[in-house]
């Protein structure tokens, strides 16, 4: 059976490439016509709709933007659920999007009654890291279902860990992304500061790489920070803002303040206001540079 991929953005394209490289047939769909054309050029067969894709794929990978889109694709009009026959063999939907944990767990409970098993596998890493086989899958859901989908998961994320039931994958991903985002912000602010002091950005980045301040983010995003190249994103500003907004909502629900995350959100909002939403999230450095002393 072919594997379905819904969503042909940065992550969806990287997932499709990895599945094709592992010799899976891929049927893809995206609401955007240009993205459908692009994913066809990658080698996927493009479906006319979510419903038609789900009718021929026992395993469907979701790489859409947010929780609302996951819910719509899974159980809305023309959805995956609508394509499942009255007496189905079990189907698996693998959600790689970063979602609201409670809503995703509730969705998994609802659709299980119709023979659809929702497996949560948000990816830690950029689309480029995923394409290179370095993305880490954070699995939430039934371990037996994950085992049944092992050939697909092996292709997408050879490195993965099971963190608990559906919902825990998103919880772990949000906490990881919090650390990662603030790390990006610290590097960006350090480079802006160094430049204001008269140091060359690229030369200082190499100094930082060799110092106690080193982190993997310097390797993944260092060139983008140093050269201020953001137009070919690995992970976008608007995606980061979506994730950090969700972090703050989850923190408030649990009575916790996230002071650094709140500042980071303000910097991302500044990027959005300056038309940088589709740039790489390394553009946080531009928002920091705009914070001039009065």
pLDDT of residue 294 exceeding 80, the answer is no
Residue 192 and residue 159 share a domain: no
| 246: in domain | yes
Which pLDDT value is given to residue 87? 53
Q: Are strands 136-140 and 123-124 parallel, antiparallel or unpaired?
A: antiparallel
Radius of gyration over alpha carbons of the chain, in Å?
20
**pLDDT band, residue 206 (cuts 50/70/90):** very high
List, for residues 232-253, the tens digit of each pLDDT value.
999 999 999 999 999 999 999 9
List, for residues 53-84, the tens digit of each pLDDT value.
999 999 999 999 999 999 999 999 999 998 87
Which pLDDT value is given to residue 88? 59
Residue 119 and residue 141 share a domain: yes
Look at residues 125, 138, 147 and name the one whose alpha carbon lies nearest to residue 168: 138
Residue 132 and residue 46 share a domain: yes
Distance of CA 246 to the CA centre of its chain: 13
Which pLDDT value is given to residue 259? 98
Torsion on CA atoms 64, 230, 249, 105, rounded to nearest 10: 20
Domain end point (choices 139, 165, 191): 165
| 294: in domain | no
Percentage of the chain exceeding pLDDT 90: 95
Domain end point (choices 106, 141, 165): 165
- Total domains in the chain come to 2
Residue 186 and residue 132 share a domain: no
29 token code pair: 């769909």
Residue 267 and residue 137 share a domain: no
State if pTM tops 0.85.
yes
**Residue 53 CA neighbour count, 13 Å, CB half:** 29
Look at residues 273, 249, 271, 275 and name the one whose alpha carbon lies nearest to residue 261: 249
């Amino acid at each position: 059976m072919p594997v379905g991929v819904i969503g042909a953005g940065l992550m969806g394209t990287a997932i499709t490439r990895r599945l094709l490289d592992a010799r899976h047939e891929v049927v893809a769909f995206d609401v955007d016509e240009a993205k459908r054309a692009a994913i066809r050029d990658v080698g996927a067969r493009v479906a006319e709709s979510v419903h038609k894709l789900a009718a021929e794929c026992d395993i469907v990978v979701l790489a859409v933007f947010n929780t609302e889109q996951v819910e719509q694709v899974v159980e809305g009009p023309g959805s995956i659920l609508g394509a499942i026959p009255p007496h189905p063999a079990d189907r698996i939907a693998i959600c790689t999007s970063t979602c609201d944990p409670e809503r995703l767990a509730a969705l998994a409970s609802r659709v299980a009654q119709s023979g659809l098993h929702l497996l949560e596998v948000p990816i830690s890493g950029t689309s480029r890291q995923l394409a290179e086989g370095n993305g880490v899958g954070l699995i939430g859901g039934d371990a037996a279902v994950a085992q049944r989908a092992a050939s697909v998961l092996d292709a997408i994320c050879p490195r993965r860990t099971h963190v608990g039931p559906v919902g825990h994958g998103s919880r772990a991903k949000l906490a990881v992304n919090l650390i990662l985002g603030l790390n990006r912000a610290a590097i960006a602010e350090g480079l802006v500061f160094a430049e204001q002091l008269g140091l060359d950005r690229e030369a200082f980045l190499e100094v930082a790489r060799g110092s106690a301040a080193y982190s993997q983010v310097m390797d993944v995003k260092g060139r983008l920070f140093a050269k201020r190249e953001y137009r070919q994103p690995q992970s976008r500003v608007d995606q980061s803002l979506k994730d950090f907004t969700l972090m703050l909502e989850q923190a408030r629900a649990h009575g916790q303040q996230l002071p650094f995350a709140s500042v980071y959100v303000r910097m991302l909002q500044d990027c959005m206001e300056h038309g940088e939403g589709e740039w790489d999230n390394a553009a946080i450095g531009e928002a920091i540079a705009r914070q001039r002393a009065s």
